[in-house]
Structure 1
Amino acid sequence: MHTRPQRELATAHAARNGAGARVDLLVVAQMVKPGAKVLDVGCGDGELLKILTETKNVDGRGIEISREGVNLCVAKGLAVIQGDADTDLADYPDNAFDYVILSQTLQATWRPRVVLEHMLRIGERAIVSFPNFGHWKIRLKLLFQGRMPRTPHLPDTWYDTQNIHFCTIRDFRDLCNEIGVKMEAAVALNAWGGKLRINVPWWFWNLFGEQAVFLLTRKK
C-alpha cells in the first residue's frame, strides 16, 4: 500500500510518446520560455526538469516529497530538495520564480486550492497538468460497472491510490474562476496524447480529454 511520502512520486503510469517522455511534460515544456527560473513542485524523478534544462536552458529547482525521487534527481545533477507541496510552499517568497509547475500532482495534494494559490503567489505563472475524471470512459465504468474506474492515468485501485481529490476539467476551470486566475493557455489531450481542437466547447474537452494542461497567471 502506498504511504503518504510516496504520493507525489506519481509519474510511472502516465502516457508516454514514442521517445519515452510523458506527453503532458512535453506540452508543459512548450509553455516555458527559454532561460526562465522554474520551480517544479512534486518533481518525481526529475524528468521534466531534465527536459527543461536540456531544451530551454532554464534555472530549474524542484521539491519532491519522496526521498527516492530526490535521490534520483540528485543523481541526474538536478537541484532538488525534499519537501511537501501542502506545507512547504508557504515558506517561499513572493515572485521568486517565473514559472511554478505542478504536473500530475494536484489531485494528490491535501489542499489543492491552497497549493494553487501559493503557486501563483511565488511564481509569475503557474502550469498545472492533471488527469480528467470527467472523461467518457470513466463515466461509463461508473455507470455500468458501479466501481471506481482504473485507467492508464488512474491505474490504482480505490484503496491503494495516491490521489486524494479527483477533479474534472470543468471543476478545475471553475476553481480558477473562483480564485480569480487568468487562463493564458489550456490544452486537453486524448487517449493517444493528441491535442483536442482549441475551438471546441469546454464540455467537449471535459468529455473527451483524458488529461489537461493549464498555463495560469494572476489577474491584474
Structure 2
Amino acid sequence: MTAALREDFKEILRLIRPGSRVLDIGCGEGELLDLLAREKQVDGQGLEISPSGVSACLAKGISAVQGDGDKDLDHFPTAAFDYAILSKTLQQMREPRHVLSELLRIADRAVVSVPNFGHWRVRWALLTTGRMPETKALPEPWWSTPNIHLCTLRDFTDLCEELDLRIEACAAVSRGQPARAIDPSRALENWRAETALFLLTRDRPAEAKTPAGATLNGDLFG
C-alpha cells in the first residue's frame, strides 16, 4: 500500500462512525474494509470488479461480491448503508454523475476521493511540455491510464451543487503528508490540493438536525 493511500485510509477511518454499515466500491483486496472492521467494528461489504480481489477479500473473512460500480449500484436497496466509499475510483467510471448520485441513494453519506487535475504540477506539466502530465497522483501515461473522467476541484464541487449534494467536510491528501482540512471552493486549493477527499450527504433543509454523534467540517479532520 502506498503512502498516499495510507493517508487516504487514515482520513476515511476518522470519518466513519463505529458500528456503521459500510459499502466500499472498488474495494480491491479489502485493505480498507479490514482496517475499518478492526478499528471501527463496521459491518462492511465490498464491491469489486476483479475476481482475484473478491477472492482475496473472502480469504480474509471480508464480505465482498464481484460487480461493476458503473452498472451494479442500481441493484442495491435505498438507504441500505450508512456510508458508501469510493476511493480514487470515480474518475475511472463511465458515468460518474450517475455513480455519485447512486452513492447518496444507497447510503446516508458518501466518502469520495478524487485526484485533482487542477493541481499546480498538472498545470505546469501541460504548460511546459504540452503533453498529458504524469504525477504522483496520476502516474500512468495517457495511453494506459484507467482514468477517463478526470476533473478539478471546481468541476467536482460544481457537480455536487448540480446534484444537490452537500459537502460536509473536505481534506487535501498528498503522498507522505498529513491530510489537512480545506475549503474546496477556494481557488487557491484548486491549485494546491493533489488529491481531495470529500464527505458528502444529500442537501437538507436548514432546520434539519444533525444525527446524534455526527460532526461537521473541521471537527472531522482534527
TM-score (norm 2): 0.87
Select which of 31, 40, 55 maps to 1:71: 55
3-state SS of 1:124 partner: strand
Determine whether 1:219 maps to 2:203.
yes
Determine whether 1:183 maps to 2:158.
no
Specify the alignment match of 1:139 in structure 2.
123
Instruction: Please tell me the residue identity of whatever aligns with 1:94.
Output: T
Determine whether 1:37 maps to 2:21.
yes
Instruction: Please tell me the residue identity of whatever aligns with 2:3.
Output: R
RMSD: 1.6
Unaligned runs of 5+ in 1: 1-11
Work out the CA distance in 2 between the residues paired with 1:35 and 1:175.
30
Determine whether 1:49 maps to 2:33.
yes
3-state SS of 1:62 partner: strand
Instruction: Please tell me the residue identity of whatever aligns with 1:116.
Output: L
Q: Is the 8 A contact 1:61 1:78 kept in 2?
A: yes
Determine whether 1:16 maps to 2:37.
no
Q: Is the 8 A contact 2:118 2:151 kept in 1?
A: yes
Q: Is the 8 A contact 1:196 1:205 kept in 2?
A: no
What whole-Å deviation, never above 9, does each CA across 1:91-129 have from its counterpart, x for those lacking one?
Answer: 011100000010010000000010011100010001101
Work out the CA distance in 2 between the residues paired with 1:73 and 1:16.
21
TM-score (norm 1): 0.88
Instruction: Please tell me the residue identity of whatever aligns with 2:135.
Output: T
Q: Is the 8 A contact 1:107 1:166 kept in 2?
A: yes
Work out the CA distance in 2 between the residues paired with 1:190 and 1:161.
20
Unaligned runs of 5+ in 2: 205-222
Work out the CA distance in 2 between the residues paired with 1:92 and 1:167.
27
Q: Structure 2 matches for 1:87-166, cutoff 5 A?
A: 87-166=71-150
Specify the alignment match of 1:82 in structure 2.
66
Work out the CA distance in 2 between the residues paired with 1:43 and 1:124.
19
Instruction: Please tell me the residue identity of whatever aligns with 2:117.
Output: F
Specify the alignment match of 1:202 in structure 2.
186
Q: Is the 8 A contact 2:153 2:184 kept in 1?
A: no
Percent identical across equivalent pairs? 49
Q: How many residues align?
A: 204
Cα displacement (A) at 1:197: 5.2
Work out the CA distance in 2 between the residues paired with 1:37 and 1:185.
20
